[in-house]
Chains A and B, each alone.
Chain A
Amino acid sequence: MRLSGARAVVESLKKEKVEVIFGIPGGSTIPLYDALYETSKDSGIRHILARHEQCAAHMADGYARAKGVPGVCTATSGPGATNLITGLAVAYMDSSAVVAITGQVPRQMIGKDAFQEADIVGIATPITKYAIQVNSASAISETIRTAFLLASTNRHGPVVVDIPKDVMYEEVDMDYAENVKIGGYSVRSGEPHPYSIKRALGLMIGSERPLIISGGGVIASKASEELIRLAELMMAPVATTLMGKGSIPENHPLSLGMVGMHGKGEANIAAEEADLIIAVGMRFNDRTIGKMDRFGMNAKIIHIDIDPAEIGKNIRADVPIVADAKKALSTITARLSEMGSKRGESEWTKRIRSLKESFVENYKRENKGMSPGRLMKILRDVIPKSAIVTTGVGQNQMWAALHFEVLEAGTFITSGGLGAMGFGFPASLGAKVACPGRHVFNIDGDGSFIMTEQDLATAVSESIPTVTIVMDNRVLGMVRQWQCMFCEERYSSIDLGKVPDFVKLAEAYGAEGVRAETYSEFEKAVRKGLKTELPLIIDVPISMDEKVLPMVPPGKSLKEVVWFG
């Protein structure tokens, strides 16, 4: 079959079972959009027109995380492609399978500073798993197969496929390659090595105070069940990283919540007191471990990760296990069951329980105005456990991490690694497109939401009814908190003023907006969100003096938790 390069792109995407593309057309992608138009009746591919390419990338990311398949975004050459960068960097840091197709100026103009030319492969290389330019139409199908394979195997990550405009016009015989070979890349089985399992079991059996720290890898490999089983067999409390939040239901008796700079006091103290840390699908990020040379000083460390380059990168492991989290955990739990080593109550479980009890009141502390913690609890009580929650970045994200209990793995989507403000809202749209039957709530801040708020236009035009809760303190709250705690209240450039009026902003876009100034108004607004057919913005005015507490100040060890700022 002879067809154009652009049509070959669309046919390749169909082969990859792509259902949705998030993007904005431009000069260099006109042939691609023409092919999408041509096939729109029978391709089964829905195109969602974003209003900013950064949002298109975040939407594809939110889609990928909610659905567990690669998310696809597209942008034109030059500014379109550079606008994708923040979204790609988020996907890279959080190991999310995003495939970005960018237009490029025609081949004979590349390198000549042509109109809307940018070296996107060069720019994207350090923040993607792979970036490649296609230099002939005959390479299109193979390259797209490669892109999807790379994005969604081993440790997932974003891939850029850059296609010059004239390549999209070139005619080609379509022949979809199922088997592609890329240098030294191979899809790993993910099976753990028996010797490391044996050593790990030895440490586990010998430990008195085991702690599991579970990361995003547990969610990516759908290993929650195995994780809970290991925790129950060992009676080991489970702390999570931000990315691992919800890998164990947070109302489980062994759940400690998030560990780290803004982690729960009980999780941080447990990390200091444990004699064995079983780290699964996590990478010992600086926000997770506090002062690096203090972390796990009293503990042996078992580190399970699919990526061999993570072993020993930040923290030395006594037993490294390069494996898929699900496969490693199921092997370990099977062996522990065979050995009949099911533990019961111990000094350690009592210690954990008393730690948790001792902090209960600390979390309930309220100042004047509405408490973010209580708002998160109301939200949890009202929305079903299958609802997907996304977040912005900053205080709003940490309040959600601390106080919003996630009860199902994969229902909490946040920019963990890069910490990109503006992620929450477009990610919520991507998640809703992926899972139209589920409720999607975005917990955001006013500073964070305003960075990508223009895609309310997308939400309204494409009928994607998500609910955004704006924790509205009229300041860049996290920076203000640091300036308060570490700069002697020298507040520098954090005041956002009284703009905009988020209710009117929502209405201007044709969405709905409500303001919630009391807990009961908030609850009512959330209930409205469960029924809304329009995108809904709930503006929740809170005091700018609300802080995210507890906190481990930078450079301190995890046990040096500050409760009151």
Chain B
Amino acid sequence: MAEGTRAELSIIYALVEDRPGVLFKVTSLIRRRGFNIETITVGSTEKEHVSRITITTRGDARIVEQLIKQLDKIPEVMKIGELNLNDTVFRELAILKVSAQDSAKRQDIYNYISIFRAKVVDVSKDSLIIEIVGNPKKITAFLDLMKGYGIIELARTGIVALPRGGKAGHD
């Protein structure tokens, strides 16, 4: 996720009916309003036939609010809102393949993995696959370090998030 001086980050969550085409409707509307989706994740929830979509985007707060109102008009959207960044737990997962041919370098990488509480999930003669979970800033920091060793391939999931506290954020 690119960090910069652009408008404030917004995390939008939506609980939607799990039907074909719903994700298309949501993303199509976001496109229409000219927003760039930085990350989007979709998955199941505690309720059957209900999916949670988590979107991160950057834009003027007023327009994000208006966008949410428009998204709320999609019939399959059951609940939608913006998560307060200070009161939200959000996580992302990345897996990356790093080149590690020489053993001294490999040792360095293992040190960083330990500091960042990342995990090695696959090892080959000249590379490692590492899994790291955390908030996006931590992941970006780790990736910056790994660039020095040569990232061969990278996959990031995008953010999933829940509000802190006992109650469901959407109750």
Q: Which residues of A contact B (CB under 8 A)?
A: 121-122, 125-126, 129-130, 132-133, 150, 182-185, 307-309, 311-313
Contact = CB atoms under 8 A, between A and B. Distances in A.
A127 B73 CA distance: 13
Contacts of B76: 182-184
A517 to B, nearest CB: 48
Contacts of A184: 72, 75-79
A309 B16 contact: no
B77 A308 contact: no
B75 A150 contact: yes
Contact of A182 (B65, B66, B75): B75
Given A125-B24, A130-B75, A312-B66, 10 more contacts: A126-B29, A129-B75, A132-B21, A150-B75, A182-B75, A308-B69, A309-B70, A309-B73, A312-B62, A312-B65
A182 B16 CA distance: 10
Given A182-B76, A184-B77, A312-B62, A121 B21 contact: yes
A45 to B, nearest CB: 27
Nearest to A122: B24
A132 B79 CA distance: 20
Interface of B: 16-17, 21, 24-25, 28-29, 32, 62, 65-66, 69-70, 72-79
B78 A183 contact: yes
B78 A313 contact: no
A20 B50 CA distance: 38
Contact of B75 (A121, A185, A311): A185
Contact of B69 (A121, A183, A309): A309
25 contacts: A121-B21, A125-B24, A125-B28, A126-B28, A132-B21, A150-B75, A182-B17, A182-B76, A183-B16, A183-B17, A183-B75, A183-B77, A183-B78, A184-B75, A184-B76, A184-B77, A184-B78, A184-B79, A307-B73, A308-B69, A308-B72, A309-B70, A311-B69, A312-B62, A313-B66
Contacts of A133: 21
Contacts of B77: 183-184
Contact of B32 (A126, A132, A150, A312): A126
Contacts of B62: 312
A183 B26 CA distance: 14
Nearest to B21: A121
Contacts of A311: 69
A45 B17 CA distance: 34
A313 B63 CA distance: 8
Residue among B16, B69, B75, B77 with max Cβ neighbours from chain A (10 Å):
B75
A122 B16 CA distance: 18
Contacts of A150: 75
Contacts of A125: 21, 24-25, 28
B74 to A, nearest CB: 8
Contacts of B70: 309
Contacts of B78: 183-184
A129 B74 CA distance: 8
A494 B69 CA distance: 41
A121 B20 CA distance: 11
Contacts of B25: 125
Contacts of A308: 69, 72
B78 to A, nearest CB: 4
Given A183-B76, A184-B76, A309 B21 contact: no
A307 B72 CA distance: 11
Nearest to A308: B69
8 closest pairs, A vs B, by CB? Answer: A184-B78, A183-B76, A309-B69, A185-B75, A183-B17, A182-B75, A309-B70, A183-B78
A183 B69 CA distance: 16
Contacts of A130: 75
Nearest to A157: B73
A126 B32 CA distance: 8
Nearest to B70: A309
Nearest to B79: A184
A387 to B, nearest CB: 35
B120 to A, nearest CB: 41
Contacts of A126: 28-29, 32
Nearest to A159: B75
Contacts of B73: 307, 309
Contacts of B65: 312
A133 B74 CA distance: 16
A133 B29 CA distance: 19
B75 A309 contact: no
Contacts of B69: 308-309, 311
B90 to A, nearest CB: 23
Contacts of B74: 183
Contacts of A313: 66
Nearest to B80: A184
Nearest to A149: B75
A183 B80 CA distance: 12
Contacts of A182: 17, 75-76
Residue among A133, A307, A309 with max Cβ neighbours from chain B (10 Å):
A309
A8 B69 CA distance: 36
Given A184-B78, A184-B79, A309 B24 contact: no
Residue among A184, A307, A311 with max Cβ neighbours from chain B (10 Å):
A184
Nearest to B31: A126
